[in-house]
Amino acid sequence: LFKMYLETVGRNATFLLNLPPNRAGRIDESLVTIMEDLGKLLDQRLGTDLAKTAKVTTDCTREAMGKGNYDAKNLTDGNKDTYWAAPDGKTSAVIELSWDTPQTVRYVSLMEYIKLGQRVRSFTIETSDDGTTFTPRATNIQTTTIGYKRIVPLNGFTAKSYEGDGYKVKAMRITINDSKACPLIQSLSVF
């Protein structure tokens, strides 16, 4: 079920499960237990957002207009109505996160500001254990669209459960290589 979650919700789709009631009008206890276990697993693996404690920077930001701004801090503020934006006409950008102490990371979650459309066509993720030298991650899966939500396992496999050590990093770089229009990212989370 966790793999299915990563391959649906994690790829900009809906997680639909067929959990019908039994003849007594109740959900079978075995299904309830399975769903409770999935909920615990989701909380364990995707429950602590390390991006909230990171220093987040971008290589470009659209100038503020009116009362709103498009700063990098909008990526981790938890507000669905704010977003980071690249300047008009710019179809690529770099977002960097850094931590004072190494963090163990396994997944990256990105969400575009979907009210203004899906824009990103290609992106890459890199990590650094020293804050200087970066290593590409998730190289064996397509990192094309983001859309409403994209969860990327940094090891590149949804089938492997990531019970291992993950990656110890002091920095992470997300490069938007191509976009239909200036990229607008509502949320960036790291787990």
Residues 48-95: pLDDT tens digits? 999 999 999 999 999 998 888 999 999 999 999 999 999 999 999 999
**pLDDT of amino acid 164:** 63
Q: What is this structure's pTM?
A: 0.92
Distance in angstroms (rounded) separating the CA atoms of residues 121 and 139: 16
- Decide: residue 130, CB within 10 A, 0-12 exposed, 13-18 middle, 19+ buried: exposed
| Phi/psi at 30 (5° precision) | -65, -40
149 token code pair: 């939500």
Report which of 117, 101, 82 is spatially closest to residue 188, judged by C-alpha positions.
82
Q: Hey, how many other C-beta atoms are within 10 angstroms of the C-beta on 93?
A: 23
Length of the chain: 191
Distance in angstroms (rounded) separating the CA atoms of residues 125 and 25: 47
**pLDDT of amino acid 169:** 98
58 token code pair: 């971008």
**pLDDT of amino acid 162:** 61
Distance in angstroms (rounded) separating the CA atoms of residues 97 and 116: 25
Beta bridge partners of 97: 56, 172
**pLDDT of amino acid 160:** 63
Where the chain has pLDDT below 70, the residues are 160-164
**pLDDT of amino acid 25:** 94
Distance in angstroms (rounded) separating the CA atoms of residues 154 and 140: 10
**Looking at residue 148, what DSSP letter applies?**
T
**pLDDT of amino acid 165:** 77
Question: 80 by DSSP, 3-state: which?
Answer: coil
**pLDDT of amino acid 187:** 98
**Residue in this structure with the two tokens 């615990």, named with its chain if needed:** 40
Report which of 148, 144, 190, 118 is spatially closest to residue 14, judged by C-alpha positions.
148
